[in-house]
Structure 1
Amino acid sequence: MNIKKLMVLSILLVSSFYSIAQITNAEKDSIYIQQIEDQKEPDKVLHAEPLYIDLIRDLGARKGEKEWNIGLGLTDNLKFDSYEALIEYEWAPVDRIGLEVELPFTFHSPVNGTVKDSIPSHQLNSIKVAAQWSFFVNEPMATSMAFGYINEFELSDFGNFGNPFIKGNVYNPFFVIAKRWGNNFHSLIYTGPMIEQDFRTNKFHTTYDINTSFHYMISGTRNFIGIEFNKTSDKGDFDMTMRPQMRLGIADNLLIGIMAGIPVSRENERFSSFIRLIWEPKHK
């Protein structure tokens, strides 16, 4: 009799543990989503943000959010290598509004015996300021939309620095739409024109960018793998670079993003790589 009771008790315990495991697995996918979406107001949808063409701030940004980014990249051109470095700060002064300031640098190194004087000079490319407004955030649809604007004050290279100091301006309005499919799959479209004005000649040059990205976010974490397709149309000329990427959380508020650049139809650019270090100071 005692043995039978023990067997029944064992079966009940195993069944209970199995049920708990099933619940845990079912809930695991939504742990981090719940932390983002359900704890605070206003509504916010968790989206995977691309690492190369990153957003000004999270879609549906909440007041007080802030983030520092440091980026380092290498591009293999035919005649020289380009080394990118950037530092940027983004924050949300009010709900739904994100602001950003960025300083991007580029350094060049000749390859294959190229004469140093024939390659571009090192430079602080520009001073970039930007704003983004998330005008649509819908949790049941897991969809967000935003309008934004980037203004880029283009600077002279270090060889001619200050002559003039600001040589041009880039006007870049953009539109973003992002959708999460279930708990793990994410898609995003980021598109808009880039209108470049040369102050020395007062001429304008316009290109149009269409950037699409697809990501898989690992359950219960902020880690993801995915790919960006960065596409540019310039008066009938079409260029595209594929950027497979991954993001890893290395601390509660520190992440690292790693990606490669594979040009599909670029005449002068070959493979590239880029690393982004993301630090999110805690906010109330």
Structure 2
Amino acid sequence: MKSKIIVISIALLWIHTAIYGQISNAKKDSLYIEQIENQKKPDKVLHAEPLYIDLIRDLGARKGEKEWNLGVGLTDNLDFDSYEALIEYEWAPLDRLGLEVELPFTFYTPNSRNFSRESLPSNRLNSLKLAAQWSFFVNEYIATSMALGYIHEFELSDFKNFGRPLLQGNVYNPFLVVAKRWGSNFHSLIYTGPMIERKFAEAKTNVSYDVNTSFHYMISGTRNFIGVEINKTIDEKNDFHAVLRPQMRVGIADNLMIGIVTGIPLSRNNERLSSFLRLIWEPKH
């Protein structure tokens, strides 16, 4: 009887050691990378996605993927605070093609007694945003992906004048994304393109150019990461604006994550610290 117990114990110990060894080795290469890249087709590279200026859909999106995002944020300006909120839905109707619909809101409150409420911007549903993104290059061997995309914003009137008229203008925003993973854990990404705003009541067209860069470290075997996003804008007057956004993403459940972002302006005199939270839910597909 004792010999049987010893044999069974040795067998269980061997099984435990074998399983633990496999998991440990897999973690070195990141369990999640294995899950994303090596088990399904077409090819897809795991990239850390920035949390403030996020992508339309994962690079190399696969048909059937979908995601809901809820975001809330606070920006401390010189004379007033602005609160932002957004709801967005993104999905992939075809392999490597992502689509998105977003409703962004902004609300304002004064933070200075000397600031007149009459000068306070009006609360508003900023726009209806429609977007598409096509990953035209996905290479697992060099862990690199590239995508072209386009965002169109139908700018809406503020709540005080809502519907008079309903539409105030259009914003045209083509963009390019290039992402590279270095080894198993380090990620870099560039998101860049012009933003062209045309208001119906004005003959002038406003043009600016955005260059958003991000760097992240993703913890092996998870989708949790820490990193930084740097949002840079050059307007038509050659004024340069930049905001540094340290951030982290934490998984709450298998299909639920939360992103936490802090904004530190590097060149804006009228904007101070800001914060932003993004709740990310991926329905099963």
Q: CA deviation at 1:161?
A: 1.1
**Structure 2 equivalent of residue 118 of structure 1:** 119
**Structure 2 equivalent of residue 46 of structure 1:** 46
- String of CA shifts for 1:161-201, please: whole Å, max 9, x gaps: 11211101000000000000000000000000000001112
- String of CA shifts for 1:65-90, please: whole Å, max 9, x gaps: 00000000000000100000000000
2:111 counterpart letter in structure 1:
V
1:66 counterpart letter in structure 2:
K
**Structure 1 equivalent of residue 3 of structure 2:** none
* TM-score, length of structure 1 as denominator length: 0.92
Q: CA deviation at 1:25?
A: 3.0
**Structure 1 equivalent of residue 171 of structure 2:** 170
Moved more, 24-33 or 78-87: 24-33
Moved more, 198-207 or 136-145: 198-207
- String of CA shifts for 1:105-125, please: whole Å, max 9, x gaps: 000001111221111000000
**Structure 2 equivalent of residue 155 of structure 1:** 156
1:165 counterpart letter in structure 2:
L
Where does structure 2 lack aligned partners over 5 or more consecutive residues?
1-9
> Matched residues in 2 for 1:150 and 1:54: separation?
12
**Structure 2 equivalent of residue 276 of structure 1:** 278
Describe how 1:229-248 pairs up with structure 2 within 5 A.
229-234=230-235, 235-248=237-250
* TM-score, length of structure 2 as denominator length: 0.92
> Matched residues in 1 for 2:118 and 2:219: separation?
48
3-state DSSP of counterpart to 1:28: helix
2:76 counterpart letter in structure 1:
D
1:28 to 2:27 alignment: yes
> Matched residues in 2 for 1:164 and 1:194: separation?
23
> Matched residues in 1 for 2:202 and 2:186: separation?
47
Describe how 1:61-72 pairs up with structure 2 within 5 A.
61-72=61-72
RMSD: 1.6
1:80 to 2:80 alignment: yes
Q: CA deviation at 1:20?
A: 7.1
Segments ≥4 residues shifted beyond 2 Å: 19-26
- How many residue pairs are counted as aligned between the two chains? 271
3-state DSSP of counterpart to 2:194: strand
Q: CA deviation at 1:202?
A: 3.2
**Structure 1 equivalent of residue 188 of structure 2:** 187
